[in-house]
Structure 1
Amino acid sequence: MTDKVCVGAIAGAFGVRGEVRLKSFCSQPQDIAGYGPLTTEDGTRSFTVKLTRPVKNGMGARLSGISTREDAEALRGTTLWAPRDALPSLPDDEFYHADLIGLEVFDTGGQTLGRVRAIFDHGAGDILEVAGRELLLLPFTREIVPTVDLKAGRIIADPPGSDE
Structure 2
Amino acid sequence: MNTIPQPPADRIHIGQLRAAYGIQGWLWVYSNTDPMANLFNYLPWWIETPTGWKTVDVKRWRTQGKGLVVLLKDVADRNAAEQLTGVNIWISKSQLPKPGLDEFYWADLVGLTVLGTDEAGKSVNLGQIAELFETGANDVMVVRATADSVDGDERMIPWHVDVVQDIDLEARQMRVNWGADY
TM-score (norm. length: structure 1): 0.88
Q: Is the 8 A contact 1:33 1:50 kept in 2?
A: no
Q: Is the 8 A contact 2:129 2:143 kept in 1?
A: yes
What are the within-5 Å matches in structure 2 for residues 5-154 of structure 1?
5-40=12-47, 44-107=53-116, 109-132=122-145, 133=151, 134-154=153-173
TM-score (norm. length: structure 2): 0.80
Alignment deviations for residues 89-110 of structure 1 (CA, whole Å, 9 cap, x no partner)? 1112121111111111112533
Q: In the alignment, what sits opposite 2:148?
A: none
Q: Equivalents in 2 of 1:57, 1:63: separation in Å?
A: 20
Count, aligned residues: 162
Larger Rg: 2
Q: Equivalents in 1 of 2:177, 2:20: separation in Å?
A: 46
Moved over 3 A (4+): none
Alpha-carbon offset, residue 56 of structure 1: 3.0
Greater share of strand: 2
Q: Which runs of 5+ in 1 are unaligned?
A: none
Q: Is the 8 A contact 2:17 2:30 kept in 1?
A: yes
Q: Equivalents in 1 of 2:128, 2:142: separation in Å?
A: 8
Q: Which runs of 5+ in 2 are unaligned?
A: 1-8, 146-150
Output the aligned Cα RMSD.
Answer: 2.1
Query: Percent sequence identity over matched residues?
Result: 28
